Amino acid sequence: MTVPSEHDVRLATELVRGAGSLAAKMRSEGIGDSIETKTSVSDLVTAADKAAETAIVERLTAEHPGDGILGEEGSARESSTGRVWTIDPVDGTYNFVRGLDWWCSALALTDSTGIVLGAVYSPAEDAVYIGGPELPTTRNGVRLDAMPDTPLAHACLTTYLHPSRLRHPVGEAYVRVASQAASIRILGSGSMDLTAIAQGRLHLFCQHSVPDWDRLPGAALVLGAGGTTAQVEAGGVLWSLAGAPTAVAEAVEALAS
């Protein structure tokens, strides 16, 4: 795994803080007439999503023109350096639109070795989380305590569910995991959920068909806090998991059974 440079850590921090602050400002000014629907009535995009992604892409283009880019709102550029920045300008857009605070701006940097770092900015907390496999996770520069290991039976599981996609066999795979957990939360922002897991407030992220921009930033934080990640095929879809090592291992076993 690659140890991130001080420059990349500082840049990632500034990028997510800037994007989240811009989105929050636009929300406070009113964005009701700029909401668009993507794949479903709960899958939304706003002018704030697009403006925040554009701001990140413009700075990356100026400072790292050879790095690749993959943005949720369509920004894409091939990499000539082997490095790729994956961007979610507003993760939890439905919450953002409805006036809920569980949303963030997030990004991840990867290279040929895998995840280098992830960064998440929560405007409601005014908190930047940053971490990775070779970068201990911090909140506003303060290192998080090591994540406590937790068995699935004692774990609070967080996920995101589309009811139309819970039919057999996907639903059966989900129930095999969920029925063994202590509790379940569906909060609406994968990256924010993973900040809570990195802090030991929740214990297990388990969701299927997760795009990289919803998975990589928070997965980096979990890894930097001593947790683990996994992906496994079950029920005809790919499940992504992150959290306490024992809970992840037991959930993988349940999905594969």
Q: What is the pLDDT of residue 40?
A: 54
3-class DSSP state of 12: helix
Give yes or no for a contact between 159 and 184, defined as CB atoms under 8 angstroms apart.
Answer: yes
Which pLDDT tens digit goes with each residue over 8-32? Answer: 999 999 999 999 999 999 988 886 4
- Both tokens assigned to 20: 């989240």
Q: What is the pLDDT of residue 38?
A: 53
- Is it the case that residue 44 has pLDDT exceeding 90? no
Q: Given pLDDT bands bounded at 50, 70 and 90, which one contains residue 39?
A: low
Mean of per-residue pLDDT scores for the chain: 93
Strand-pair partners of 23 = none
Strand-pair partners of 68 = 84
Q: Given pLDDT bands bounded at 50, 70 and 90, which one contains residue 33?
A: very low
Cα distance between residue 193 and residue 187, in whole Å: 7
Which pLDDT tens digit goes with each residue over 175-232? Answer: 999 999 999 999 999 999 999 999 999 999 999 999 999 999 999 999 999 999 999 9
Q: Which is more confident, 198 or 41?
A: 198
Buried b / exposed e along 40-72 (16+ C-beta atoms within 10 A):
eeeebbbebbbbbbbbbbeebeeebeebbbbbb
User: For 40-50, what is the mean pLDDT?
Assistant: 69
Cα distance between residue 75 and residue 68, in whole Å: 10
Q: Given pLDDT bands bounded at 50, 70 and 90, which one contains residue 37?
A: low
* pLDDT above 90: percentage of residues in the chain: 85
pTM of the full structure = 0.94
